[in-house]
Amino acid sequence: MNKIRILIADDHAIVRDGLRELLNGQEDMEVIGEAEDGGQTLDKAKTLRPDVTLLDIAMPQISGLELIPLIREAVPDCQIVVLSMHAKETYVQQVLSSGGLGYVLKASPSSDILAAIRAAHRGEYFLSSKLQADVIATYLKNRDSTPVVRGYDLLSEREQQVFRLVVEGNSTKQIADFLCVSHKTVEKHRANIMDKLGVHDRLELLKYAIKIGIIDLDH
């Protein structure tokens, strides 16, 4: 039997220890690596090329929400399951729209984590049993509908990535390193973003991000 190769990404060692013991105890699973921050997670995903990355949202350096499209772009065959303490629908929607297949609450039974990993490996969606079951249905229903045009929707996919990285507090150098582009390219994206959104500095960008739900004060 080919085991599901899993990368665990969480900034708390005690959580990683518990997950490693749980997953390695399954006949069809194998933990091949662990990461404690966003940059390390992206590097290990590229190097180890896991089948599934089990990802926390609240990661240092770069958040789990922003990591999802970066991992999916770098390792297209790697599926993402988010393990989070947050039960907010806006987070679930962001995970699904970014390419994640699973969202499990940390308060959920271990059976949910195992089921989510197996489902993601099959290319199927899975939500924690404690989340509302209609979240996925709502997402799938609205995914192909024409959205109401607003400033954020006018940004390109790359500009949206840069926007999220900026409001999370990353420097130009960090963003350039994460996206494997030049400093000048990042600055050009920042200028385009501010022009399209009609804002003038990072504080206004942050306020805008909070307003549209990209950043949550309770995060």
Tell me: the pLDDT tens digits for 124-133?
Answer: 888 886 665 5
Report the C-alpha gap between 193 and 200 in whole angstroms: 10
pLDDT category of residue 219 using cuts at 50, 70 and 90: very low
CATH number for the domain that contains residue 190: 1.10.10.10
Tokens encoding 218: 């309770």
Give yes or no: residues 25 and 122 share one domain: yes
Give yes or no: residues 35 and 117 share one domain: yes
Give yes or no: residues 131 and 155 share one domain: no
Q: Which of 70, 19, 125, 127 is nearest to 8 (CA)?
A: 19
Q: Which of 102-116, 134-148, 190-204 has the highest mean pLDDT?
A: 102-116
Mean pLDDT over each residue of the chain, to the nearest integer: 84
Residue 202 lies in a domain: yes
3-state SS of 179-208? Answer: HCCCHHHHHHHHHHHHHHHCCCCHHHHHHH
Q: Structural domain of residue 160, as residue ranges?
A: 151-212
Domain end point (choices 94, 112, 143): 143
Give yes or no: residues 30 and 109 share one domain: yes
Higher local confidence (pLDDT), 88 or 80:
80
Q: Which of 119, 49, 63 is nearest to 95 (CA)?
A: 63
pLDDT category of residue 141 using cuts at 50, 70 and 90: low
Q: Which of 44-48, 110-114, 161-165, 207-211 has the highest mean pLDDT?
A: 44-48
Give yes or no: residues 109 and 173 share one domain: no
Sheet order of strands, 126-127 included: 29-35, 4-9, 52-55, 79-84, 102-105, 126-127
pLDDT category of residue 15 using cuts at 50, 70 and 90: very high
What pLDDT, in 10s, does the model give residues 142-187? Answer: 555 544 446 777 888 888 888 888 887 788 888 888 888 898 999 9
Q: What is the pLDDT of residue 53?
A: 97
Give yes or no: residues 164 and 121 share one domain: no
Residue 219 lies in a domain: no
Give yes or no: residues 110 and 170 share one domain: no
Q: What is the pLDDT of residue 172?
A: 87
What pLDDT, in 10s, does the model give residues 91-112? Answer: 887 888 888 999 998 888 898 9
Give yes or no: residues 109 and 185 share one domain: no
Higher local confidence (pLDDT), 59 or 211:
59
pLDDT category of residue 206 using cuts at 50, 70 and 90: confident
